[in-house]
Amino acid sequence: MYPDFNWIGIDNYKDLAKDGEFGHAIYVTCLIAIIVTLVSNGLGLLSALLVNFKGWIYNASRTVFFTPQVLSPIIVGFIWSIILTDDGVLNKLLGYIGLDGTSWLANTSIVVYSIIAVIVWQSMGFCTVVFLATLQSIPSDLYEAAKIDGCNQWQKFKHITFPLLAPGITINTVMLLISSFKVFDQVVVLTNGGPGTTTETISLKIINMGFNENQMGYASSMAVVLFLLIGVISVVVVTLLKRREVEY
Amino acid sequence: MKRFMSLCLALMLTAALAGCGNSSSSNDPSNTSAKGQTDSPKATSEAPVSEEPAELNVLVFETPNLTAQYWDDAIKRFTDKHPNIKVNKIVSPDVDRTKYAKQLLATGQFPDVLMSVNVQEFLASKSLMAFEDKYVSQVPGADTVAIDGKVYLLPWGAQTISYIYYNKKMFDKAGATEPKTWAEFVDVVDKLKASGQTPLLYGGAKDPWSTTFLLDGIISTDVYSKVPDWVAKRKKGEVKFSDPLFKNAVLKWKSLVESKAFNEDGLAIGYSQLQDAFLKGKGAMYPMGSWFVAAANAQTDIEIGVFPIPTDDGSIVTPYAVGGPASVSATTKYPEAAQMFATEFVTDPATVVEAVKSDALIPLEGQTVDYVYPPLFQKVVEMSKQGTKVNAFGWENGDAAMLPGMVDEFNKAAQNMILGKSVDSELAALDAKWDEVSKRTK
């Protein structure tokens, strides 16, 4: 971007280590990534179990669960920014049932969780589809054998369904972790990193540093840290989750 | 396997070394000056004559005021007149066309002509061409936006940022009248609160720049009226954000925040929701740029008045920003055609009138616009001619512009103050940030 530049060795990385705002961005990003991954997996599994039957109503439900996934994150963010404002739909609905709402996008102790909820809402459909595919690949004779042995529903889930869902959990966890660490669109549309710097994520910080403050070198060093973070976490998570995958 | 691992290592090192550079002297005035963008070899001698075939990529931005139709019509008027010149419209994905232009620059797709980008941000990279005198002389007010004597942007009007627009009915209900001094203004705020109405509105959410319109206005009137070259002095380290003059201006705004004079949902609503809130009568006063006049004229729900930011002694100070749309790339293949397009764009009567109508531009000295101004617009134009004109804080152009990214930092600091952080700590953080950006970009 600039015709001239100075070689400054690892100064940018040294500055990064001391940069409190970047540290905060890493914390926010990790918080989003961990909660989104856990909750989306949980809700995705629940919804997959709910719609893993034959019939038009279940097919329609699958479509409903998957619809948010095909929407652009920008559009999702825009829709939720209207829902989450102080006089938005959510607070009005809460008012009807006698509950006090809050300022979902301005309350600093809540706003990160508002963003997380929006991302979970969107990514849950992906988890549902992956879990559904995995569920349907489990041989039915295993359930028949369990029935003959006198297993109840919980025992069937614990000893057959859950262990055989491991490949699905691996895929969902890795994909969600990677996409959550890169989270940008929803944050920009909902809060643009605010109020103040409360919801600034690493990707947002990189874009602002590079294209607002014109500090491409410093932004690049942040991007390298993000790359390493995603790389290391992905390898660790895949290694750990692969260990618990089983075949009957 | 060994070769594969070596390749991986090489890729990793390349990625890591990407963060080992810094932009040299991106805001060093000495580097952005005399050499400037006219150093481009294509700027003059290799230029084709004006009516030779040319193809221009023009970056525009679309808003509710400046619609796709507006840009298409303006481009068509030019291409009808110059059939040999083809114009391709590139639309910025959002109103932040400066950021988009930087992305295009970084990916080698910098357009030939750019509309309303922040010129200061492209000087270090020598990406913009200084207009030749023959074009500058055709545009009234062009010399007022010169940087080190060179014009990188052709203006077509001015805006006042901010005046305070108010809901006349809500003022009547509270028994309030237009204040002239700061003490009267505080009194109006108290009367509005006592009558159960929200005195002031601000926004936030995805548009943090909508948080600070009143604060920008107070700093412009209190600081810039006393130290007109405050930004230049800050660049030299002669003044600071934490100096008493600047701090007192911020404290005036903070006292209003603490007295709950603003809407409670400010940080949760974006710019369009903010404007909607004022037009629906959810707040009595709306500090805003003069472009709001266009939206005010287009509605009939409320009756709107306007007054300048009240000062301690009641003197009128107008925060004023001369702006315009057209800049030209230093690396354009068609410098003559690009400069001609830019010049004709800002001087074409139909294009300018449409912009005046839809974006409420105040005419510059020497500029005549064939337009009958609606009453509120007329009042803003007349007010802009009274009192002292100063730069609008956060909206400065040319030599007076702040370091890249500092306006965003200021907006974040203002939000932090709303959230309860102290003025002292936030101003000290701004000083530290300024010094850091300044050092890193040297």
Encode pLDDT of B42-54 as tens digits.
333 333 444 788 9
This model of the complex carries an ipTM of 0.81
Dump strand ranges (E) for B182-296: 285-288
Interhelix angle A216-243/A11-18, nearest 10 degrees: 70
Q: Are B53 and B82 in contact (CB under 8 A)?
A: no
Using an 8 Å CB-CB cutoff, list chain A residues near B283.
Answer: none
Q: CB distance A217–B126 less than 8 Å?
A: no
SS3 label, residue B13: helix
Expressed as residue numbers, the domain containing A70 is: 14-242
Sequence-ordered list of residues with C-beta below 8 angstroms from that of B175, at least 6 positions apart, any chain: B191, B195
Q: So what's the pLDDT on residue A119?
A: 96
A215 and chain B in contact, CB less than 8 A = yes
Between CA B297 and CA B275 the distance in angstroms is: 13
Per-residue pLDDT of chain A (248 residues; tens, 9 = 90+): 565 677 888 889 998 999 999 999 999 999 999 999 999 999 999 999 999 888 888 889 888 889 999 999 999 999 999 899 888 899 999 999 999 888 999 999 999 999 999 999 999 999 999 999 999 999 999 999 999 999 999 999 999 999 999 999 999 999 999 999 999 999 999 999 989 899 999 999 999 998 888 888 999 999 999 999 999 999 999 999 988 877 66
Q: So what's the pLDDT on residue B6?
A: 55
Q: What is the CATH number of the domain that holds A34?
A: 1.10.3720.10
Q: CB distance A7–B269 less than 8 Å?
A: no
Between CA A119 and CA A40 the distance in angstroms is: 9
| pLDDT tens profile B208-263 | 999 999 999 999 999 999 999 999 999 999 999 999 999 999 999 999 999 999 99
User: Best residue in B8, B11, B17, B22 to probe A by mutation, most A CBs within 10 Å?
Assistant: B22
Is it true that B31-159+323-381 and B162-288+403-440 share their CATH fold? yes
Token pair recorded at residue B256: 């209003």
Element (H, E) at B126: none
| Residue in chain B lying closest to A86 (CA) | B265
> Comparing C-alpha atoms, which of B22, B415, B100 is closest to residue A207?
B100
Q: CB distance B21–A222 less than 8 Å?
A: no
User: Best residue in B412, B417, B423 to probe A by mutation, most A CBs within 10 Å?
Assistant: B412
Q: Examine residue A7 and state whether it is found in any structural domain, yes or no.
A: no
Q: Distance from B93 to chain A by nearest Cα, in Å?
A: 11
Q: Examine residue A3 and state whether it is found in any structural domain, yes or no.
A: no
Q: CB distance A5–B208 less than 8 Å?
A: no
Q: So what's the pLDDT on residue B5?
A: 53
Between CA A121 and CA A124 the distance in angstroms is: 6
Element (H, E) at B317: strand B317-323
* Domain limits, chain B: 31-159+323-381, 162-288+403-440
Sequence-ordered list of residues with C-beta below 8 angstroms from that of B170, at least 6 positions apart, any chain: B192, B197, B281, B284
Give every residue of chain B whose pLDDT is below 50, as ranges.
1, 23-50
Q: Are A166 and A120 in contact (CB under 8 A)?
A: no
Between CA A244 and CA B209 the distance in angstroms is: 50
Q: Examine residue A1 and state whether it is found in any structural domain, yes or no.
A: no
Between CA A10 and CA A16 the distance in angstroms is: 10
Between CA B201 and CA B271 the distance in angstroms is: 11
| Domain B31-159+323-381: CATH class, spelled out | alpha beta
Element (H, E) at B397: none
- Residue listed under structure tokens 């905060």: A24
Using an 8 Å CB-CB cutoff, list chain B residues near A4.
Answer: 23-25
Interhelix angle A20-51/A111-136, nearest 10 degrees: 40
Q: CB distance A217–B23 less than 8 Å?
A: yes
Q: So what's the pLDDT on residue B31?
A: 34
Q: Examine residue A8 and state whether it is found in any structural domain, yes or no.
A: no
Using an 8 Å CB-CB cutoff, list chain A residues near B439.
Answer: none
Q: CB distance A227–B404 less than 8 Å?
A: no
Was domain B162-288+403-440 assigned CATH 3.40.50.2300? no
